[in-house]
Structure 1
Amino acid sequence: MKLFLPAILLCAALPCVAEGAVPEYTLVIHNHTYQPTTLNVPANTKFKLLVRNEDATPSEFESNDFNREQIVLPGTTATVFVGPLDRGSYTFFDDFHRATGNGVLVVQ
Structure 2
Amino acid sequence: MGMFNPISWTGSIASKDELNIDIEDIMISDGPTGHVMKLSPKLKEQLHKSWSNALILKNMGRSHALNFMLTKLNHKWNLIGQWQLTDLREGYFVARFQLKKDLIMCLLEVPGS
TM over 0.5: no
Higher fraction of strand: 1
Q: Which has the higher contact order (CA 8 A, sep 6+)?
A: 2
Higher fraction of helix: 2
Return the TM-score normalized by structure 1. Answer: 0.35
